[in-house]
Structure 1
Amino acid sequence: MANNEARKTRSFMGTMVAIAWSFIGLRRKRDFDEDVGGLNPVYVIIGGLIGTAIFIAILLTIVNMVVP
């Protein structure tokens, strides 16, 4: 991408998709390059908190199912 081109910011759902792929560690370099400068920091923080809460809830559910 050329320096003089305006970077397009991602929507909230686009940011959530980028964060979801990042949580599982599967990102193509091209997608990462598109994300740089195009993610809204507020959306990233909100998405990170939501993702962390879901991850903890899944872990607690698994532990409660295994431990009687």
Structure 2
Amino acid sequence: MKLLHTLRAVLWAFLGVRKRAGYEEDLGRLSPFAIIAVALVLVLLFVAGLIALVNWVV
């Protein structure tokens, strides 16, 4: 369940639309190392998806 909360917090951060109260709640509840790990995995998946899309189009 904590992984889902971390994933949700990172996805909100990617979009850039997060209320300050939600941000502060996440800071108190989630581990910084978990947030960084989830963010790195999501960035790698995003980049791999973009590369796959470009290869498919070309």
Q: TM-score range by the shorter chain?
A: 0.7 to 0.9
Q: Distance in 2 between matches of 1:30 and 1:64?
A: 41
TM-score (norm 2): 0.78
**Correspondent of 1:18 among 5, 9, 15:** 9
Q: Distance in 2 between matches of 1:43 and 1:53?
A: 15
Structure 2: segments with no counterpart, 5+ residues:
none
- 1:1-68 aligned at under 5 Å gives the runs 11-67=2-58
Cα RMSD (Å): 1.7
The one-letter amino acid paired with 2:48 is: A
TM-score (norm 1): 0.69
Structure 1 runs (4+) deviating above 3 angstroms are: none
The alignment covers a number of residue pairs equal to 58
List per-residue Cα deviations over 1:27-64 (Å, max 9, x = no partner).
12221121223221221121011111111111112211
From the two aligned structures, give the one with the greater helix fraction.
2
